[in-house]
Amino acid sequence: MNVTERVIVVTGAGSGIGRSIATGLLDAGHRVVLTGRTREALDQTAHGNDHALVVPADVTSPQSVHNLFAVVAERFGRLDVLVNNAGTFGPSGAVDEIEPQDWDQTVATNLTGVFLCSREAVRMMKSQTPRGGRIINNGSLSAHTPRPASVAYTATKHAVSGLTKSIALDGRDHDICCSQIDIGNAETAMTAGIGQSARQADGSMRAEPTFDPRYVADAVTRLVELPLDVTVPTMTIMAARMPFVGRG
């Protein structure tokens, strides 16, 4: 294996930011395991690249996640990087307007999925030779400041921040680094509406600027290629003119 080549798992790789990250990593010459719920979408991301391995999985299912990492271990014998990208906006509404089942599904995808994948990744990274690796969690600007009517999404992203810090702390003695990248208004299908009209904290509606997600992919690729004696605990990348600093 080339010394600069990494074995990387990217969750939610079938669309949006996950597809951009996976494509960027493949273009950089890394071996990328593309995972998500829909094989067809993952195959489109792979686009016939010999360095891509498609393994459908459901990050909310402990058994499905275990099976995913078993395939990685069997195929490559190690794991260098996990990119926890799978996520959902969840229901729109204030705390009194959210149904418990919608809350549970948002937590399962955005938080428990990160836990389950990180659990399997850390176990591999501790036991492999050479040991160690890197975990990169997709947070959000909502890990810091919420949008209106986003209680479920915001709560899970705040929780991801705590999970990221705990993994980073507990991973130190095992050469495991953990970072969080907080993304604001990358242009994807999920954020298409924001570019047209988005509710502001004062109740008004206005379009917000977006940016090309390939710059997220560039940032993740730089993180992936750092040596394990260097870490970036948090990174924020966003459309420069979007309302965040002083939001509301």
Question: From the CB of residue 92, how many other CB atoms can be counted at a distance below 10 Å?
Answer: 16
Could you tell me if 38 and 56 are in contact, meaning their C-beta atoms sit under 8 angstroms apart? yes
Reply yes or no on whether 215 is catalytic: no
Report, in this order, helix, strand and coil percent for the chain, each rounded to 5: 45, 20, 40
Cα–Cα distance for residue pair 128/77, rounded to 1 Å: 8
Q: Which residues contact 48 (CB under 8 A, 6 or more apart)?
A: none
Query: Catalytic pick from 22, 26, 85, 153?
Result: 153
Determine the Cα angle at 120 with ends 100 and 72, to 5°.
Answer: 120
Active site residues: 153
